[in-house]
Structure 1
Amino acid sequence: MKLQDKLDKLRDDFENGRLPLVPTAEQIETMHRATKMLTDSGQASRALKAGDKAPDFSLPDPEGNVYILRDLLVRGPLVVTFYRGVWCPFCNLDLAALEAERSEIEARGAQLLAISPQTLANSRRSQRDNKLNFPILSDHDSEVAATFGIRFSLPDDLIEVYKSFGSNLSQFNAGQDWRLPMPARYVIGRDGVIVYAEITPDYTRRPDPSELLPVLDKLRSN
């Protein structure tokens, strides 16, 4: 089953009350409205895209190791996925799909890592719960996400919905505000230039990790 098929099923189960957390019709409408607002804002089209230079970053993993983009690129191209956090079931399906494709990514000489604004402890939980064998880095206040153009602020009514679900992001995240990255997938070549970018303002939509493989094949042949 493709990643998007799994995401579609999760969304259908959630919105039709087949999961332990059952939202009200008003809460679902609030979530739909917020997604539409972000989509209609056009922010995704203004984010960094293929052909742009990737901004350098230096971020920690849960074990205290620091990952610096320019140092990583010495070893080969990099696949970077930005995600919202361990509290988001759509993000967890996305991470699991990337892990399933990890060996194919690495066989093409590339490295894989994920970035989220959550605390180091929650990054460790993401790795453990999703059985991941690639690093998750913590981006305080989504500052690196902002340099890629994908950070946004949640509207007040959506904040209240998330709080009612038990997802108080000021407790999950390293920062104390309610800003998140749009889910995004990037491939960065060894020269630091982005060769693939997919930004999805609708968090229930994600590109299949298999789409990365032809991009990496082309990089390798070049």
Structure 2
Amino acid sequence: MSLQMKLDAFKADFEAGKPPYNMPPTDIAVMHRATAELIASGAAQRALQAGGKAPAFTLDDADGNRISSVELLKKGPLAITFYRGVWCPYCNMELQALQAVLDDFYAAGASLVAISPQTRANSRKSVRQNKLAFPILSDGENSVAAAFGLRFALPDYLIDLYKKLKNDLPAFNDDPGWTLPMPARYVVAPDGTIVYAEVNPDYTRRPEPRDLLPAIRRANDRA
């Protein structure tokens, strides 16, 4: 089953209000409104796209190791996924799908990192929960996400819903701001050029991990 098929199956159960989520239709409508407004804002089109230069970054992994994009690019192409956090089931399914093809990324000469605004403790939870063998990086205040054009502020009505659901982003992220990154995937060539970019303001839509492999091969050609 493809990643998107798994996501669609989960979404159908979630939006039908099935246990353990038991989401009422009014809450689902709020989520739909927020996604529709983010799509309509054109934020995804303003994010960094293929052909641009990727900003350099250095972030902590779950164990506190400093991970530098510049150093990773010295070894070959770099695949990056931006995700919302361990509290997001869609993100967790994507991370698991990336783990399933990790050996293919490595065989193609690429490194893979995942970036979220969550604390290192929550990144460690991501690693344990999803059985990950690639670095999960903590992006305080979504600073790197902002450099890629991915950071957005949650509207007040969505913040109210998150508070009701006890989805406390300031606690998850150790950041009083209510911001998130739009989910995004990038492949960066060793010279820093973005050769693949996929940004989707609809967090329920994710590309198949294997879709990045042709871009990794193109990135190798630029080395």
Q: Same fold (TM over 0.5)?
A: yes
Given residue 65 of structure 1, which amino acid in structure 2 is its aligned partner? N
- How far apart in 1 are the matches of 2:143 and 2:26? 32
What does residue range 38-117 of structure 1 map to in structure 2 within 5 Å?
38-117=38-117
Partner of 2:11: 11
Structure 1 moving runs of 4+ over 6 Å? none
3-state SS of 1:113 partner: strand
Report the Cα distance in structure 2 between the residues aligned to 1:63 and 1:82, rounded to whole angstroms.
19
Kindly provide the amino acid, as one letter, of the partner of residue 162 in structure 2: Y
* Aligned 8 A contact 1:138 1:174 in 2: no
Gaps of 5+ in 2: none
SS at match of 2:74: helix
1:53 Cα deviation (Å)? 0.5
Q: Which amino acid aligns with 1:157?
A: Y
Deviation digits for residues 159-205 of structure 1 (CA, Å, limit 9, x no counterpart): 12122222111111132211000000000000001000000100000
Q: Distance in 2 between matches of 1:200 and 1:19?
A: 28
Determine if contact 1:76/1:110 at 8 Å carries over to the other structure.
yes
Question: 3-state DSSP class of the match of 1:75?
Answer: coil
**Residue pairs, 1:185-196, within 5 angstroms:** 185-196=185-196
Q: Distance in 1 between matches of 2:133 and 2:162?
A: 29
Deviation at 1:221, TM superposition (A): 4.4
Q: How many residues align?
A: 222
Structure 1 distance, partners of 2:184, 2:4, is 15
Residue equivalent to 1:35: 35
Identity %: 55
- Structure 1 position 217, deviation (Å): 2.3
Contact 1:139/1:174 (<8 A) preserved: no
2:94 paired with 1:121: no
Paired residue type of 2:194: I
TM (normalized to structure 1)?
0.98
Q: Deviations over 1:117-175 (max 9, x none)?
A: 00000000000000000000000010100000000011111112122222111111132
- Which residue of structure 2 aligns with residue 147 of structure 1? 147
Does the 8 Å CA contact 1:56/1:70 hold for their aligned counterparts?
A: yes
Q: For residues 144 and 80 of structure 1, what CA distance do their matches in structure 2 show?
A: 11
Q: Could you say which residue in structure 2 is the equivalent of 1:168?
A: 168
Contact kept, 8 Å, 1:21 with 1:165, in 2: the verdict is no
Letter of the 2:119 counterpart: T
Q: Which amino acid aligns with 1:5?
A: M
Q: Does the Cα contact within 8 Å between 2:14 and 2:22 map onto a contact in 1?
A: yes
TM-score (norm 2): 0.97
SS state at 1:203 partner = coil
Amino acid at match of 1:172: F
Q: 1 CA distance for matches of 2:10 and 2:139?
A: 27
Superposition CA RMSD, Å: 1.0
CA distance in 2, matches of 1:66, 1:19: 40
Secondary structure at 2:101 match in 1: helix
Paired residues of 2:141 and 2:175 also in contact (CA < 8 A): yes
Residues 78, 110 of structure 1: 8 Å contact kept: yes
Gaps of 5+ in 1: none
Give the equivalent residue in structure 2 for 1:158: 158
